[in-house]
Amino acid sequence: MLKIAIFNQKAGVGSTTTALNLAAAIQRKKRQVALLDMDPQARLTEIYKHTGLDTQQHLFKFYQDATPLDSLCQPLRNGLQLIAASAELMKVDSQFGRGPATLNKLGQGLATLAAAQPSLQVLMDCCPYLGVISLSAVFASDLVLIPVSTDYLSIHSAVKMDKALNALQPVLKQKIQRRYLLTRADKRKAMTAEVEQEMRRLFGNEVLMSKIYEHAALTESARMGQHVFEYDADSAAAQDYMALFYELQDVSKQLPRAELLAA
Ligand SMILES: Nc1ncnc2c1ncn2[C@@H]1O[C@H](COP(=O)(O)OP(=O)(O)OP(=O)(O)O)[C@@H](O)[C@H]1O
Ligand SMILES: [Mg+2]
């Protein structure tokens, strides 16, 4: 099981869009994928709310009464699995504390899930806030994927993320593997090239070569309760996410603890 936390402390950078469409790209390569909606705002869950999803079965139950993650995984019509989120996720730290027991619980739950579904890949869609839930996702992950939208403020948020992850490394006693994904890129805008250049100067080969360009299909597909491969498998947006999958497949070969993204 490869576990990727998709996380940036800056909101609106394309984290949820990336979680959904990367999951779809992985699935097209015949791998089972579970999406964990770890955002109390439940934007990912929202996309599938009208497709018969049982919104009473959500991640908070794993914290509240130790419901196994396996039984919270709901199959979607498109073959992906989703563990839904709810606003109650905001209460995890006030109810269960911020100590190691809470922080490590998700990793333990995922280990049990991996035993039940060994070939499952897990993508965790985090909220833009470094609280207990996002920390748990980082702790449980093999790789943190940091979407960075190509505007100047995003460089600042990437530096902030880098510092936050570095500060966590002594706690975890290992390097937190991370890759930056440039999103909402636009070939016509000088800003895209400038942000990319600065990101590569700051973070070198931690910045992925794949970029996600600005595509109306990404907004439109989500509005229709679909990922972009369902909406238009030949679209440029689908191609961007397929290229991201292939690059992450190579990245997964370099990760110490992780299984390969695909055979
Ligand atoms: N590459 C893109 N091209 C066009 N629209 C995009 C792209 N990426 C994201 N969007 C749109 O931008 C909005 C925010 O995207 P998304 O919800 O994925 O961001 P987020 O980082 O998860 O936000 P939040 O921090 O609120 O969870 C959505 O309406 C989405 O459809
Ligand atoms: Mg989101």
Model confidence pLDDT, tens digit, residues 61-113: 999 999 999 999 999 999 999 999 999 999 999 999 899 999 999 999 999 99
Check whether 245 has a pLDDT greater than 60.
Answer: yes
What's the average model confidence in pLDDT over 143-163? 96
What are the residue ranges spanned by the domains of the chain? 3-249
* pLDDT value of position 255: 86
Ligand closest to Cα of 218 equals 1
Q: Does residue 128's CB lie within 6 angstroms of at least one atom of ligand 1? A: yes
Topology classification of domain 3-249: Rossmann fold (3.40.50)
* pLDDT value of position 261: 66
pLDDT-derived band of residue 256, with 50, 70 and 90 as boundaries?
confident
Q: Does residue 39's CB lie within 6 angstroms of at least one atom of ligand 1? A: yes
The C-alpha atoms of residue 48 and residue 39 are separated, in whole angstroms, by 15
**Average pLDDT in the chain:** 94
Atom number, ligand 1, closest to the C-alpha of residue 213: 1
Q: Does residue 11's CB lie within 6 angstroms of at least one atom of ligand 1? A: yes
Check whether 262 has a pLDDT greater than 60.
Answer: no
How many C-beta atoms lie closer than 10 Å to residue 234's C-beta? 7
Distance from the CA of 127 to the center of ligand 1, in angstroms? 12
Nearest CA owner, ligand 1 atom 13 = 12
pLDDT-derived band of residue 145, with 50, 70 and 90 as boundaries?
very high
Check whether 263 has a pLDDT greater than 60.
Answer: no
What's the average model confidence in pLDDT over 202-227? 97
Distance from the CA of 210 to the center of ligand 2, in angstroms? 20
**pTM as predicted:** 0.97
How many C-beta atoms lie closer than 10 Å to residue 250's C-beta? 11
* pLDDT value of position 260: 62
The CB-based long-range contact list for 11-15 (8 Å cut-off, 24+ gap) reads: 11/128, 12/128, 12/149, 13/128, 13/147, 13/148, 13/149, 13/154, 13/157, 13/183, 13/184, 14/147, 14/149, 14/183, 14/184, 14/212, 14/218, 15/125, 15/126, 15/128, 15/147
Q: Does residue 12's CB lie within 6 angstroms of at least one atom of ligand 1? A: yes
Q: Does residue 219's CB lie within 6 angstroms of at least one atom of ligand 1? A: yes
The C-alpha atoms of residue 127 and residue 164 are separated, in whole angstroms, by 15
* pLDDT value of position 159: 97
The C-alpha atoms of residue 238 and residue 244 are separated, in whole angstroms, by 10
Overall size of the chain counted in residues? 263
Q: Does residue 42's CB lie within 6 angstroms of at least one atom of ligand 1? A: no
